[in-house]
């Protein structure tokens, strides 16, 4: 949501929390007041649509600054009190990079008696201390999470690789939490490096943003892998979420409509999710671009995209014009 708000110029990149929470900017409302208002707005929409809604626990400055276990747990309890009073349906522990902090967040969330979803912000390299995805999954499950998995950090392909390892580890130990996958909406390297380590992140990610059809294919692969909570994190936009929308205990997507008993998301296209409707386009060349066969196999136009930096791309545009067209300057 914050990435979407940033693209629309409501917030600034870098804070990663809307400025309405930043006391140093002179905002008078407390964090609790803002969180309560957010919960009420979410509940209003959820009740209207017959959906569930949640609130998140994320990484805390208390842990980052070396606070004790009790101080971290107390910080989480303080965050939990107002959101529980606002009747959220479950607690989401996410954007956590250290399994030790995740275990504390899960412990605090379990005290509410609500279902707990735990998403480590990791890829195949594990958490920031090198704890493997397998061990992170086992520790989240043993801490009491009802749903375990990953969010953000790595793209859909690498997210699947990470969750596959988690699933096998859980099976070996006889643990059976549900699995969740919420990747970042970008292509990230197969070597497991996260988006944070890429020089283009966070302000020049457009060239590596996934297409809606990559979101389709991710939803299909995730479902076949046994993942039943399928969503997206940073850089996923509304047209992606329509493709991979998820709901409690059931994967929700146009791509997975058959598995959902024929039900589609409210915003689903009546003409289909693989370019349905293009056969009515005015240009014959475009009319043929309907269906999975085209959109699942079309490759990026590397001749157009190239591998130049923005400065290189614009440095010689006049020279290129002279080479291609005779122009009298």
In DSSP notation, 53-75 reads -EEEE---HHHHTT--HHHHHHH
Q: Which domains occur in the chain, in start order?
A: 65-236 (3.20.20.330)
Per-residue pLDDT band at 73 (split at 50, 70, 90): very high
pLDDT recorded at residue 9 = 83
Name the pLDDT band for 248 (thresholds 50, 70, 90): very low
pLDDT recorded at residue 268: 58
Q: For residue 259, is pLDDT > 50?
A: yes
Predicted local confidence at residue 246, as pLDDT: 41
Q: Which of 23-27, 109-113, 237-241 has the lowest mean pLDDT?
A: 23-27
Annotated binding residues for Zn(2+):
152, 233-234
- The conformation of residue 20, written as its DSSP 8-state character, comes to G
3-state secondary structure of 119: strand
Following DSSP, what letter does each residue of 138-189 receive, concatenated?
HHHHHHT-SEEEEESSS-HHHHHHHHHHHHHHHHHTT---EEEEE--SB---
pLDDT surpasses 50 at 247: no
Mean per-residue pLDDT of the chain: 86
- List residues forming the annotated binding site: 152, 233-234
What would the pLDDT profile of 36-69 be if each residue is shown by its tens digit? 999 999 999 999 988 899 999 999 999 999 999 9
143-193: pLDDT as tens digits: 999 999 999 999 999 999 999 999 999 999 999 999 999 999 999 999 999
């Amino acid at each position: 949501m914050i990435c979407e708000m940033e693209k629309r110029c409501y917030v600034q990149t870098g804070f990663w929390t809307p400025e309405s929470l930043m006391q140093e900017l002179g905002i008078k409302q407390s964090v609790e007041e803002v969180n309560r208002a957010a919960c009420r707005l979410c509940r209003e929409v959820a009740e209207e649509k017959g959906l569930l809604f949640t609130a998140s626990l994320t990484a805390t400055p208390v842990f980052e600054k070396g606070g004790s276990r009790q101080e971290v747990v107390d910080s989480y309890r303080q965050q939990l009190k107002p959101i529980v009073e606002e009747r959220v349906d479950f607690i989401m522990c996410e954007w956590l990079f250290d399994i030790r902090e995740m275990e504390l967040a899960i412990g605090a969330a379990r005290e509410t008696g609500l279902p707990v979803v735990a998403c480590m912000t990791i890829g195949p390299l594990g958490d920031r201390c090198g704890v493997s995805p397998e061990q992170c999954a086992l520790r989240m499950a043993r801490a009491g999470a009802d749903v375990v998995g990953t969010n953000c950090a790595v793209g859909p392909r690498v997210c699947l690789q990470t969750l596959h390892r988690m699933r096998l580890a859980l099976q070996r130990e006889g643990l059976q939490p549900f699995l969740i996958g919420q990747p970042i909406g970008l292509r990230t390297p197969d070597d497991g490096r996260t988006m944070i380590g890429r020089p283009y992140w966070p302000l020049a990610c457009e060239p590596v943003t996934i297409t809606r059809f990559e979101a389709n294919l991710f939803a299909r692969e995730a479902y076949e892998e046994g993942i039943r909570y399928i969503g997206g994190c940073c850089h996923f936009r509304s047209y992606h979420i329509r493709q991979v929308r998820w709901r409690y205990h059931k994967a929700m997507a146009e791509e997975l409509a058959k598995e959902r008993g024929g039900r589609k998301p409210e915003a689903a296209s009546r003409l289909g999710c693989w370019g349905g409707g293009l056969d009515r386009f005015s240009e014959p060349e475009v009319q043929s671009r309907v269906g999975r066969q085209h959109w699942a196999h079309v490759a990026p136009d590397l001749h157009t995209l190239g591998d130049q930096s923005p400065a290189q791309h614009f440095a010689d545009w006049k020279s290129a014009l002279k080479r291609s067209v005779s122009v009298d300057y």
